[in-house]
Amino acid sequence: MVGGGGGGASSTWRNAYQEIANSKPLFVAIYATVFLGIVFSSLYVLSAVYSANSSSSSTSWLSSPPIPTSIDNTRHVDQSSNFSKPTTLAAGSSPPTSNPQTMQIKPIWEPPPHGTKFPPLKTFRLTKQLVQQRVKDNVIIVTFGNYAFMDFILSWVKHLTDLGLSNLLVGAMDTKLLEALYWKGIPVFDMGSHMSTADVGWGSPTFHKMGREKVILIDAILPYGVELLMCDTDMVWLKDPLPYLARYPEADVLTSSDQVVPTVVDDSLDLWQQVGAAYNIGIFHWRPTESAKKLAREWKDMLLADDKIWDQNGFNDIVRKQMGPSVDGDNGLVYAFDGNLKLGVLPASIFCSGHTYFVQAMYQQLRLEPYAVHTTFQYAGTEGKRHRLREAMVFYDPPEYYDAPGGFISFKPSIPKSMLLDGEHNLETHFSLINYQIKQVRTALAIASLLKRTLVMPPLWCRLDRLWFAHPGVLVGSMTRQPFLCPLDHVFEVNSMLKEQPEEEFGPAINFREYSFLDNPLLPRHVKESRLDVQLCQEGAEGCGVSNKTSRPGILRFPKRSNEDMFKTTFSSFKDVKVIQFSSMQDAFVGFTDKRREEKFRNRMKRYVGIWCCVENHDPGHIYYDMYWDEKSDWKPMPPQSAEDDHPPWKVTLEESEYPIAAPVPFQSTKRSCVLVRRLGM
């Protein structure tokens, strides 16, 4: 008998059943009912136990309490493919079950059990099996970076898991990041790059090395037969993109772009004939077709043969070798590269760049829902990227960020309607508006320093856009409104504000937060509800004086033009209040009593503002902002008249400048200028 013991068990059941059949019909019914009840009860108990084990996981976010996500806690993944590489499990994943075609994968954010030892590095090798374990609908979403971008990566993962997506992997370019992500329960693989853990800086040799790692990674994953959604770490997902990508099953590659002028007003692909800007490789989707694999190989070979080629420029050059004709149908695809690759350009209105999202708010104007935002077209380096995402409330910070020692101060900015809306939008009206706001911020920073509190920056209004080349105020054809709420890095040097400076020369550091901070849903209730409103008043008016008594609960009347001692005397009684909000900063503070401290504060402030760029028909064309513009009676918004004049206001000569400003490239054509923006402004 084939089956051995199994046949004996079957014979026993058959004999028992025959005996029952020979009995009375009533007993047949009773025995059948009892038998079925036992079977269904057993299945129910097993199901309940399995579900309880599956749902016991929690999400760990930095050092915070668990944050629930919308992902399924268990997934069964098809493992039936033949793998060309040795079996290597994802770190922290469960061993194979008795069914070789299914495998239970640990939920993202579930850390390894207490007492677990860190696995050998070879455990984290990128293999076909590792990728297959995480795919969903044959799609894998991948990013990579080093430890300097740890917080960006955590935000990237958190957005995806909140959207219910768990088919993701993170490539670690250094061991420090690899270990950190492993202990947080994030699926990670070792890229073997052995990079520095520091911020590499845009345009640096290490930055270019990272670009080459990207194309090597694409070339490695496509042969696994999965679709690859490749992302930079300085972007976040706001909506599940997979249904959108599935709308174009014929596409070999779907890429984002630096397009700033809309070519469509709905959610269809951008019209490839009208996209003059660079294709942006920070967000692009690859299908494992022969054409896509060929493109990846040739792109990789190009970069490895010449280390001076920037990865994105190389991609644009090779893809644009042939453009056209359109693929049959009305799907927006075009034949590119070798004439066989089907390419689509994702709409810049909803797969947003830093310009279409933060400056134009194109998706809002077109009443569309954005899928993603990539922090391009920005200034102040990595710090500027992080601050922009915080302004949009799409960056996840640890709990301590929302409850700073000493508490916060904020203020209601005062801007006359005529300064904001009246007259033409030109250099004079733009700088009048900015300078009016700069002066209020300067006062608020002084009070924050005095009270040892963190300043919540106000929203900043601009009349003119900031770019890297000459332009008439806003980009022609774009949807930039005037005036517009502009990112802080358009005016302030966010990286300089965050840079550690010697206290003996610059005084104590002054912490700050983004203008949307107090509206962020992650702000704890105990911070929101602990608030003091300070109403500035004329000294001598009824109820206006130096006092720690509130006129009404939560409201304090405080004299304008108060000095250091008046501030200390009054607000020393409110140290336990989390948020102190001033009704205005106009004439709120007369300055520090200690002249040396005032000098240090001024040294710090002068480095806080940057440049506006750029006027047409003038070289150089940028204009320096001046934190103390109001102390110069002849101050006017003018570009440097010579190379000798081209330095920040606080510098005597350009040679002494710690932050030399490269001469801007004159405006030429729309296509070239857009490519230039991407080259300079990632």
295 domain-assigned: yes
Residue 132 lies in a domain: yes
Distance CA 369, CA 240 (A): 11
Beta partners for 456?
A: 513
Q: What is the pLDDT of residues 374-402, one digit of tens each?
A: 999 999 999 999 999 999 999 999 999 99
Mean pLDDT of all residues in 254-282: 97
pTM of the shown model: 0.80
- Residue 253 confidence class, pLDDT cut points 50, 70, 90: very high
Taking a C-beta distance cutoff of 8 angstroms, is the pair 85, 97 a contact? no
Please give the structure tokens belonging to residue 377.
Answer: 């077209």
Q: What is the mean pLDDT of residues 436-443?
A: 97
Helix residue spans in 228-270 (DSSP H): 242-246
In the predicted model, is pLDDT for residue 46 greater than 80? no
Determine the Cα–Cα distance for residues 639 and 375; give it in Å rounded to an integer: 28
Peptide bond into 553 cis (omega under 30): no
Whole-angstrom Cα distance, residue 154 to residue 396?
A: 8
Asked whether residue 341 falls in the same domain as residue 410, the answer is no
Judge whether residue 78 has pLDDT over 50.
no
Query: Does one domain contain both 412 and 280?
Result: no
Domain count, the chain: 2
Give the pLDDT score at 656.
42
pLDDT given at position 75: 29
365 and 442 assigned to the same domain? no
pLDDT number for residue 308: 86
Cis link prior to 648 (omega < 30° from 0)?
Answer: no
Range among 2-6, 119-123, 206-210 rated most confident? 119-123
The pLDDT of residue 93 is above 80: no
Q: Tell me which residue has tokens 């590659």.
A: 253
**230: pLDDT strictly greater than 80:** yes
Predicted confidence (pLDDT) at residue 443 exceeds the cutoff of 60 = yes
Angle (CA) 615-618-623 rounded to 5° is 50
Is residue 55 predicted with pLDDT exceeding 50?
no
Determine the residue type at 381. Answer: G
Q: How confident is the model at residue 97 (pLDDT cuts 50, 70, 90)?
A: very low
Instruction: Evaluate whether residue 39 is within a structural domain.
Output: no
Rounded distance between C-alpha atoms, residue 499 and residue 494, angstroms: 9
Assess whether 321 and 433 both reside in one domain.
Answer: no
Same domain, 343 and 438: no
Q: Does residue 356 share a domain with residue 421?
A: no
- What would the mean pLDDT of 51-58 be, rounded to a whole number? 34
pLDDT band at 209 (very low <50, low <70, confident <90, very high): low
* Contact predicate 588/443, CB 8 Å: yes
| Pairing verdict, β 372-374 and 323-326 | unpaired
Output the pLDDT for position 427. 96
CA distances from 658 to 207, 497, 509 (A): 22, 14, 19
The distance of Cα 386 from the centroid of its chain, to the nearest Å, equals 7
How high is the pLDDT of residue 547? 73
- What is the share, in percent, of the chain residues with pLDDT greater than 70? 77
Structure tokens at 585: 């900063």
pLDDT band with cut points at 50, 70 and 90 for residue 106 = confident
398: number of Cβ within 10 Å:
13
Q: Does position 39 have pLDDT exceeding 50, yes or no?
A: no
235-237 β-sheet, strand order: 235-237, 372-374, 351-352
As a whole number of angstroms, the distance between CA 459 and CA 558 comes to 24
Phi/psi class of residue 213: alpha, beta or left (left: φ > 0; alpha: ψ in -120 to 50)? Answer: alpha
517 lies in the same domain as 641: yes
State whether 350 and 409 are in the same domain: no
Look at residue 487 in the predicted model and tell me its pLDDT: 97
What pLDDT is recorded for position 105? 74
Cα separation, 547 vs 287, in Å, equals 69
User: Counting Cβ atoms within 10 Å, is residue 167 exposed (0-12), middle (13-18) or buried (19+)?
Assistant: buried
For residue 153, pLDDT over 90 is answered with yes
pLDDT band at 652 (very low <50, low <70, confident <90, very high): low
Which domain CATH number covers 342?
3.90.550.10
| Whether residue 186 sits in one domain with residue 324 | yes
Nearest to 146 by CA among 128, 171, 124: 171
| Range of the structural domain that residue 508 is part of | 403-645
Place of tokens 């963190």: 454
Mean pLDDT of all residues belonging to the chain = 82
pLDDT in tens, 271-322: 999 999 999 999 999 999 999 999 999 999 999 998 888 899 999 999 999 9
In a domain, 87, yes or no: no
Q: What is the SS3 assignment for 258?
A: coil
The position carrying tokens 């997506």 is 165
| DSSP one-letter string for 394-419 | -----GGGGS-TT-EEEE-----HHH
> Final residue of a domain: which of 373, 391, 413?
373
> For residue 564, how many C-alpha atoms fall within 13 Å in the half-sphere facing its CB?
11
- Return the pLDDT at 206: 54
Does residue 611 form part of some domain?
yes
Dihedral of CA atoms 182, 188, 194, 200 in degrees, nearest 10, equals -100
With pLDDT > 90 as the criterion, what percentage of the chain qualifies?
71
Mean per-residue pLDDT, 85-101 = 32
Range 593-618 average pLDDT: 95
User: Please, what is the Cα angle at 159 between 156 and 161, to 5 degrees?
Assistant: 105
Residue type, 367: R
Residue whose C-alpha is closest to residue 589's, from 513, 536, 531, 626:
536
Residue 365 and residue 408 in one domain:
no
In a domain, 674, yes or no: no
Residue 617: pLDDT band (50, 70, 90) is very high
Does 17 score more than 90 pLDDT? no
Assign residue 510 the CATH number of its domain. Answer: 3.40.50
CA-wise closest residue to 647 among 639, 638, 657: 657
Structure tokens at 60: 């760990």
Residues 196 and 255 in one domain: yes
Q: 17: which 2 tokens?
A: 């059943």
Q: Per the domain annotation, does 249 fall within a domain?
A: yes
- Cβ count within 10 A of residue 468: 20
- Residues 491 and 566 reside in one and the same domain: yes
SS (H, E, C) 569-584: HHHHHHCCCCEEEECC
Q: Is residue 198 included in any domain, yes or no?
A: yes
What's the rounded mean pLDDT across residues 90-96? 33
pLDDT of residue 649: 87
What per-residue confidence (pLDDT) applies to 628?
A: 96
